[in-house]
Amino acid sequence: MPTNKIVGENTEQGLHAKFHLQHPTSRFALNVDLTLPDNGVTAIFGQSGSGKTTLLRCIAGLEKAQQGHFVMKGETWQSDSFFLATHKRPLGYVFQEPSLFPHLTAKGNLDYAIKRSGIPLPADLYDQVIDLMGIESILKNNSQQLSGGEKQRVAIARALLIQPKLLLMDEPLASLDNARKQEILPYLEKLKSTLKTPILYVSHSVEEVMRLADHVVLMEDGEVATQGQVEEVFSQLTSPLLFNNGTGVIWQGQIVQQDEKWHLSKVSCAGSDLWIRNNGDSLGQQVRVRILATDVSLTLTCHEDSSILNRLLVSVLDIIPDKDPAMALVRLQTEQNTLIARLTYRSVDHLALVAGKTLWAQIKSVALVR
Ligand SMILES: Nc1ncnc2c1ncn2[C@@H]1O[C@H](COP(=O)(O)OP(=O)(O)OP(=O)(O)O)[C@@H](O)[C@H]1O
């Protein structure tokens, strides 16, 4: 494979994707110019028809954009004068539907992919991937006998065994029912924490994005509406897509104290401490918590006589109208994070909320998402 280094450009790190594509048969146009991290999970998030799959297909070389540039860690896959064919791009692609060969066993599907990749497999990688996806016991099963969730785990293992430099996942959970989704999500979390390969993960599920993503690209009408760290994007409230029942924030933290008596753990999140139920996480562990806007209420004084465990001193950043005309989303500044409370306008008026006002946020529930 050619190395295709771009001379004179600082592109040794990160992914650079620039595409302009106009489908001849539709009004849709993709116009993106993105620089993304070359590690962790980047979620491509957006409503149906916003261009998420088209972007992934351009990166894979499955869609030939009128103008296309793609450089990964200094290696050009596409430019004005160069186009690396899809089968030569070192990527794994996991689709919504697992698409295994029906006449082969799970193992047969994996062996076929390894052989086709032509890259020698390090001795321990096979076992590591099988273990990571938890598919040891189903390897001998014919792929037609596998459940939807098992098929998808085999398909992910297959994508990993070709040793990709980039893993593209297009709504890998979309064809599964909720129970199967919940079954696979822990495998994806394990994958993310074990694997060094960057993952571009297309989804329109807030839950999946909040659980898995480090970085988020929000797509609207073929363009990038916003992008950034997952905590940043969800606290901005710049897009109508972020206004729904799942509106809330994500905080990164660390377990700093265990309370054996009450089965609680204290999570320190950039200067704000939160008590959560002890989920068996060990001291020092990095965790991610999600606080829904509907679980935050505001008081002018600190209510220590309340059943609510978590109270933080906050100041009002801004007040944004919700989709429901009776409701407002109040963005709040904590020590170093942003918090969002969903209140009625009547409460906003009653508390005389204005930007800069200091008050107490009571957090009814904090969910551990990782
Ligand atoms: N081959 C094609 N020819 C014409 N139009 C297309 C083609 N492929 C996609 N489109 C259109 O491009 C737009 C973006 O489609 P795309 O599949 O990228 O969206 P998406 O955000 O991935 O949506 P979803 O979440 O529903 O999968 C849509 O309006 C779609 O109808």
Q: Best-predicted range by mean pLDDT among 118-122, 278-282, 304-308, 317-321?
A: 317-321
Taking only the tens place, the pLDDT of each residue in 163-177 is 999 999 999 998 888
Token readout for 218 is: 């929000």
Q: Mean of the per-residue pLDDT values for the chain? A: 89
Q: Tell how far the Cα of 222 is from the centroid of ligand 1, in angstroms.
A: 9
pLDDT at 328 over 80: yes
**Segment holding 322, helix H or strand E:** none
Q: What global pTM score does this model have?
A: 0.85
pLDDT digits (tens, 9 = 90+) for 24-81: 888 999 999 999 999 999 999 998 899 999 999 999 999 988 899 999 999 999 999 9
Segment 78-107 shows an average pLDDT of 92
- 190 CA from centroid of ligand 1 (Å): 30
For range 255-270, the mean pLDDT: 92
Q: How far is the CA of 76 from the centre of ligand 1 (A)?
A: 26
Closest by CA to 218, choosing from 209, 229, 210, 227, is 227
- Give the residue, by CA position, lying nearest to ligand 1 atom 18: 51
CB atoms under 10 Å from CB of 325, counted, come to: 8
CA–CA distance, 52 with 74 (Å, rounded to integer): 24
Q: Which ligand 1 atom is nearest residue 46's CA?
A: 21
Tokens 């594509």 found at: 21
Ligand 1 test: best mutation among 21, 30, 52, most atoms within 8 Å of CB? Answer: 52
Question: Which residue, among 319, 252, 318, has the nearest Cα to 289 in the 3D structure?
Answer: 252
Higher pLDDT residue, 92 or 184? 92
Closest CA to 194 of 14, 369, 40, 368: 40
Q: Which helix (H) or strand (E) holds 73?
A: none
Q: How far is the CA of 297 from the centre of ligand 1 (A)?
A: 40
Ligand 1 mean position to 57 CA, how many Å? 10
Concatenating the DSSP letter of every residue in 237-302 gives --SGGG-STT-EEEEEEEEEEEETTTTEEEEEETTEEEEEE--SPPTT-EEEEEEEGGGEEEESS-
Q: Counting atoms of ligand 1 from 1, which one is nearest the CA of 222?
A: 14
Give pLDDT, residue 11.
54
| pLDDT of res. 4 | 39
- The pLDDT assigned to 120 comes to 87
- From 23, 44, 64, 170, mutation site for ligand 1 pocket: most ligand atoms within 8 A of C-beta: 23
Comparing 175 with 5, the larger pLDDT belongs to 175
Quote the ligand 1 centre to 91 CA distance (angstroms).
22
Residue 8 pLDDT class (50, 70, 90 cuts): very low
Radius of gyration of the chain (CA): 23
The complex's ipTM works out to 0.95
Residue ranges around ligand 1 (CB below 6 Å): 23, 25-26, 28, 46, 48-54, 204
